[in-house]
Amino acid sequence: MTNLLSNFCLASAAPGAATLSPILLGPSEAQLILALPIIGLLFCTLCAIFRVKSKAPAFFTVACLAGAFALVVRLYLNKTGTPVITSGFEWFFLEWGDGKGQRLVANFSLYLDSLTILWMLFVTGLATLIALYASEYMAGDLGTGYCRFFAAFNLFVFSMSCLVMGDNLLLLFLGWEGVGLCSYLLIGYFYKKPSAVEAAKKAFIMNRIGDLGLLMGIGLTFVHFGSIEYRDIFHAAQPYIEAAKAGKYNEIPFLVQLIPVLLAIGAFGKSAQIPLYVWLPDAMEGPTPVSALIHAATMVTAGVYLVARMYPLFLLSEYALPLVAWVGALTALLAATIGMAQFDIKRIMAYSTVSQLGYMFAGLGGLSSTGAAFHVVTHAFFKALLFLACGAIMHGFAGQLDLRKLSGIRRLKGWGIVSFGMLVGCLNLSGFPFTSGFFSKDMLIGSEFLTPGMAPIGWILLFTAGLTAYYTFRVFFRVIVGPLHYEPGDELHSAHDEHGHGGENHNEHAHVQDDHQHHDHGHGGHFHPHAPGWAINTVLLTLSVLSLSASALNFLHLPNQPHIEGGIVPELVMESSAAYESPYARHEAHEGTGDGGHEGPDAHGTPSYVPTAIALDDPHAHAGTFLGWNPHAVMFYVSGAVGFIGIFVAFVLHYVGRTTAATAKADALLPMLGPIPGWAQHKWYVDEFYKYSIYWPLIILANLCNLFDKLIIDGIVRLFGAIPRWIGNTIRPTQSGELHGYAAGMAAGVAVLLFIVFILTLR
């Protein structure tokens, strides 16, 4: 038993990896980043057990997460540019031989490179801010779900940290599923609402479908590379990368090329891409801080992270990156069209999230992991800001989210910061010039035009950018500005999202149907919107400032590094395993503006493999252009113009001349489009399509199985039971119950036996 416990040792250095560069041990305090949320989780659990009714869990959580953020900052400051590994304890260690690939190792070890640190910076930073926001936002649930919320919140940060920092795919998978669980728990936070429970379930199951792809990808990775640790994988993949560089994709086994596709399926699930995106809009049933943190800023970017992390493998396939790009572009377009037709502002934000995630994937697929990462970071800030502003509105207007019932709330006292935050977020999202969103989006779209064969995607994205600007400012023009009008939401009738001033006599056991608790809110004119308090305002202001200042990232640069277009974030990515930028983009960055891009990258000696099927016929294809101009240079103007057009259209249709909350000029235009807006409003009936094409067939199959089990399988068993019964019934009459019959039978039996003996002894 002692040796059973003595395994609490640090992960062993793999002896079979002699050819690898020695492991650089990272700072051990990095483990604390994992530990701090766990401490917060334990604290919240204790609070839940002792039914603490104060805000202690929130502030403890904020403290823990802030500590984690500080540690990440420290990591950032101390980073060396090469990946380091910090060993935790052994989780999986299974060995069946001495050779390569005969050892399954997955430890709680952290792989710290600049990509990890980049992700952890905004994850922990945003988590801290949003926890602070939630401390006020969730105050209505003090004593009921408050501790639960923050426990799950901590668990989420822990899982996300595992996902991002793990040094192997299995630890990533742990975090992957862990964030899925937290997402499930937090979407279903208002568990009395059937729609919330349904949404939570949907999110978990949709994610599971992607997870199966990821799991298969992990299996395939192990089988082919003999390890699931990033370091070993990248090492083992080296020969294939060489082959890919030479354009010899036929030397790379099909199964190796399959790995990125499978991983991408996992990423599509987590990051809500076609065909697995339908869970994310429904996930807005959760409390708004959750939507902001998990379903906008961090968790949904896990898919992007996965692709970026495994970028070397994605480069091995001819099909994986085009697949990712097309899926991303189509998702971006589809979600934007749906978003234009929605009335629930949170849902609009959700679809915009799906759309923006599509941008990121398109960026990854368009050979711009740098641009994708840049967009992830900027998007994290402004989308969190937008969600939190929406949340503040929802909080203040008793759950009202319908943009037809809210108007001009900037005119209300105490809503200035919310309005400001909304404006900042909308500007960023719509790519208004010189906002951070503008830079990152430009970088993405520019790369698409640069990369040969990706131009259609660039056009789609450009078009979508216009749609984005339109639907973003549709919200802004209807809700924030215009004539003042508001109606309270239906949460007046429910206790689950309690307001500070209305909940003094709040009954813990109030049920959903209990609607006699809050007379003071009343209806219509009696309703007083409740302006956000200091915590929400602080966070909104901070995020607004951060979102605005994020554009500075474009101009900051890492010391001692060649400058790359896009600033510090792309430079961080370039330091990591995801280091790949379209050779054309790099070329542009060095050449500055001008009419470049017509020269082959080989001229500059940069790595120049183009892992797309499109480029296969000519591996040294020339960089694409945007109508003959250098995409990156032109894109500033083009996308700025597209953004302006979108905003202008929104301005005309939704602001000019609008006198009521419910109607705008746009409504008059709708009939011209025929049934299309209705279809868009119904999300193009994708949910229904899934329901009838997958759900119902499966349910029918399940029922058939159940019947089959009951009738056929159990029937066969019963038949086996029935055979002896039948035989018994058949010979039953022989048992007359009369003594003589038995005696006669006995005598006859004896006679027969004797006769047999007689025959046998007759020689």
Partner 1 sequence: MDQIINPLALYAACGLGAVGVCLALPRKDGKNPQIVGALIASLAGAIVLLAMGLKAGGLLGFGNSPSVYFYIFGAVALGASLRVITHPRPVYAALYFVLSILATAGLFLILSAEFMAFALVIVYAGAILITYLFVIMLATQAPTEELENALADYDTQAREPIVATAAGFILLAVLTTLLFRGTVDLPSMKSSGGEALMAEMPRRIETALSNANKLPSGAHVVINDRNQANVDFAARKVEIRTASGETSLVDLPADLHVTNVEMVGFNLLRDHPGSIEIAGVILLMAMLGAVVLSRRQVQIDEDAKERRAQNLAAELAQGVETNP
Partner 2 sequence: MQNAATPISAAAAGFQIQDWWLVLLMAVPLAFSFIIAFGAPHRARATALFGTLVAAALTTVVLFQFNWGNGAAFQFQNRIAWLPSLGISFSMGVDSVAMLLIALTGLLGPLCVLASWTAITDRVRTYYAWLLALQAAMVGVFIARDLILFYICFEFTLIPMYVLISLYGSTNRKRAATTFFLYTFTGSMIALAGLVYVAWVNAGLPKDAFEGAGTWTFDIAVLQQAAQGSLTMAQQSLVLLALMAGFAVKVPLFPVHTWLPLAHTEAPTAGSVILAGVLLKLGTYGIYRFALPFCTGAFIQYAPFLAVLCIIGILYGGLICWVQTDMKKLVAYSSVAHLGFCVLGLVALNTAGIQGSILYMINHGLSTGALFLCVGFMYERYHTRSMKEVGGLASKMPIWATFMVFFVMASVGLPGLNGFISEFLCIFGTFQASDTWGKGVWGSSGAPVPGATPGNLGPWYALIAGLGVIVAAMYLLIMVGKVVFGPLREPGAHGDAHGSHGESHDSPGHLPADLTAREITALMPLAIACLVFGLYPMPLFDALKGPVGETVAMVQDVRENGLNNGAAKTASVIDAREGTR
Partner 3 sequence: MTTEFTATLAQAGYPAAFQSITLAHYLFISGAMFSLGLIGFLTRRNLIIMFLCTELMFQAAGLALVAFSRFHMNMTGQSFVIFIVTVAAAEAAMALALVVLLFRRRESLDAEEWSELKG
Residues near partner 1 (CB under 8 A): 740, 744, 747-748, 750-751, 754-755, 757-758, 761
Binding segment for partner 3 (CB under 8 A), chosen from 388-396, 535-543, 615-623, 740-748, is 740-748
Instruction: Indicate the residue among 250 and 734 with the shorter CB distance to partner 1.
Output: 734
- β-strands 110-112, 103-107: how paired? unpaired
| Of the residues 656, 699, 744, 754, which one makes contact with partner 2 according to CB under 8 A | 699
3-state SS class at 342 = coil
Residues 587-646 that bind partner 2 (CB under 8 A): none
- Does residue 557 contact residue 382 with C-beta atoms inside 8 Å? no
Residue 344 DSSP label? B
Interaction of residue 738 with partner 3, rule CB under 8 A: yes
* CA gap 318, 308 in Å, rounded: 17
DSSP state of 25: B
Interface map 155-174 toward partner 2 (x if CB under 8 A) = ---------------x--xx
Residue 757 Cβ vs partner 1, minimum distance, rounded to whole Å: 7
* Cis, bond preceding 275 (omega within 30 deg of 0): yes
Q: CB under 8 A: which stretch of 122-130, 250-258, 483-491, 532-540 binds partner 2?
A: 250-258
Kindly indicate which of the ranges 111-119, 177-185, 281-289, 662-670 contains the residues binding partner 2, using the contact rule CB under 8 A.
177-185
- Pair type for strands 110-112 and 84-86: antiparallel
**Contact partner at residue 637 from partner 3, partner 1, partner 2, none, CB < 5 to 8 Å by partner kind:** none
> What is the CA angle 714-715-721, rounded to 5?
90
Whole-number minimum distance, CB 742 to partner 3, in Å? 9
Counting contacts by CB under 8 A, is residue 757 touching partner 3? no
Query: CB of 719: closest distance to partner 3 in angstroms?
Result: 23
Q: Which does 748 bind (CB under 5 to 8 A by kind): partner 2, partner 1, partner 3, none?
A: partner 1
Choose, by CB under 8 A, the member of 52, 70, 101, 463 that binds partner 2: 101
24 or 746, CB closer to partner 3? 746
743 is an interface residue for partner 3 by CB under 8 A: yes
Binds 733: which of partner 1, partner 3, partner 2, none (CB < 5-8 Å by kind): partner 3
CA–CA separation, 162 vs 123, rounded Å?
12
Give the tokens for residue 273.
Answer: 């891409």
Using the 8-state DSSP alphabet, how is residue 598 labeled? S
By C-beta, is 560 or 734 nearer to partner 3?
734
Find which of partner 3, partner 1, partner 2, none residue 19 binds, CB within 5 to 8 Å per kind: none
- Among partner 3, partner 2, partner 1, none, the one that 511 touches (CB under a kind-dependent 5 to 8 A) is partner 2
User: Which listed range, 178-186, 349-357, 393-401, 632-640, lies at the site for partner 2 (CB under 8 A)?
Assistant: 178-186
Q: How far lies 155's CA from each of 150, 196, 211, 296, in Å?
A: 8, 20, 19, 17
By a kind-dependent CB cut-off of 5 to 8 A, residue 758 interacts, out of partner 2, partner 1, partner 3, none, with: partner 1
534 backbone dihedrals φ, ψ, rounded to 5°: -65, -40
Show contacts with partner 2 in window 503-562 (CB under 8 A). Answer: 509, 511-513
For partner 3, the binding residue among 413, 509, 516, 740 (CB under 8 A) is 740
Residue 719 contact partner, candidates partner 2, partner 1, partner 3, none, CB within 5 to 8 A by sort of partner: none
Q: Is 667 exposed, middle or buried (0-12, 13-18, 19+ CB in 10 A)?
A: middle
Q: How far is the CB of 728 from partner 3 (least distance, A)?
A: 8
The DSSP secondary-structure symbol of 263 reads H
Q: Which of 18, 672, 739, 759 binds partner 3 (CB under 8 A)?
A: 739
Both tokens of residue 85?
Answer: 């590994």
CB of 755 to partner 1, least distance (A): 5
> Cα(120)–Cα(156) distance, rounded to whole angstroms?
13
Q: What is the Cα–Cα distance from 337 to 679, expressed in whole angstroms?
A: 10
Stretch that binds partner 3, among 144-152, 470-478, 669-677, 739-747 (CB under 8 A): 739-747
Q: How many C-beta atoms surround the C-beta of residue 549 within 10 A?
A: 11
String marking each residue 350-389 x if it binds partner 3 according to CB under 8 A: ----------------------------------------
Give 182-234 as a DSSP string: HHHHHHTTSTTSHHHHHHHHHHHHHHHHHHHHHHHHHHHHHHHHS--BHHHHH
Q: Is 762 a binder of partner 3 (CB under 8 A)? A: no
Cα–Cα distance for residue pair 423/429, rounded to 1 Å: 10
Determine the interface stretch with partner 2 among 57-65, 179-187, 302-310, 755-763 (rule: CB under 8 A): 179-187
User: What is the CB-side half-sphere exposure of residue 524 using CA atoms within 13 A?
Assistant: 1
Q: Using CB under 8 A, which residues numbered 208 to 247 contact partner 2?
A: 208-209, 211-212, 215-216, 219-220, 222-227, 236
- Looking at the Cβ atoms of 713 and 752, the one nearer to partner 2 is 713
Q: Which does 732 bind (CB under 5 to 8 A by kind): partner 1, partner 3, partner 2, none?
A: partner 3
| 184 binding partner (options partner 1, partner 3, partner 2, none; Cβ < 5 to 8 Å by kind) | partner 2
Task: Work out whether strand 90-95 and strand 110-112 pair parallel, antiparallel, or are unpaired.
Answer: unpaired
Compute the distance between CA of residue 614 and CA of residue 250 in angstroms, rounded to an integer. Answer: 15
| Count of residues of this chain found to bind partner 3 when the rule CB under 8 A is applied | 12
**Burial call 322-360: b when 16+ CB within 10 Å, e when fewer:** bbbbbbbbbbbbbbbbbbbbbbbbbbbbbbbbbbbbbbb
**Applying CB under 8 A, which of residues 205, 589, 613, 662 lies at the interface with partner 2?**
205
Q: Is 732 in the site for partner 3 (CB under 8 A)?
A: yes
C-alpha of 647 from chain center: 28
Instruction: Give the residue with the Cβ less far from partner 3, 659 or 735.
Output: 735
What are the respective helix, strand and coil percentages of the chain, to the nearest 5?
65, 5, 30
Shortest distance, position 542 Cβ to partner 2, whole Å: 32
Report what 562 binds from partner 1, partner 3, partner 2, none; CB cut-off 5-8 Å by kind: none
Determine which residue in the list 15, 22, 99, 628 makes contact with partner 2, applying CB under 8 A.
99
Contact (CB, 8 A) for 230 and 577: yes
Q: In the complex, what is the shortest distance from the CB of residue 743 to partner 3, in angstroms, rounded to a whole number?
A: 5
* Contact in structure between 186 and 293 (CB atoms under 8 Å): no
- Distance in angstroms between the alpha carbons of the first and the last residue of the chain: 73
CA-to-CA separations, 643 to 110, 350, 637, in angstroms, rounded: 41, 20, 10
The least CB distance from residue 750 to partner 3, in Å, is: 9
Q: Is residue 13 a contact point for partner 2 (CB under 8 A)? A: no
- Residue (727 or 756) nearer to partner 1, CB: 756
606-639: b (≥16 Cβ within 10 Å) or e: eebbbbbbebeeebebebbbbeebbbbbbbbebb
Burial class for 20, CB neighbours closer than 10 Å (0-12, 13-18, 19+): middle
Applying CB under 8 A, which part among 303-311, 560-568, 698-706, 734-742 lies near partner 3?
Answer: 734-742
Residues 704-733 that bind partner 2 (CB under 8 A): 705-706, 709, 713-714, 717, 721
Task: Report the residue number, 137 or 173, with the smaller CB distance to partner 2.
Answer: 173
CB of 517 to partner 2, least distance (A): 15
List helix spans (H) across 657-695.
Answer: 665-669, 676-681, 686-690
188 binds partner 2 (CB under 8 A): yes
CB 156 within 8 A of CB 44: no
What's the CA gap between 273 and 267, in Å, rounded? 8
CB of 702 to partner 3, least distance (A): 44
Binding site for partner 3 (CB under 8 A): 732-740, 743-744, 747
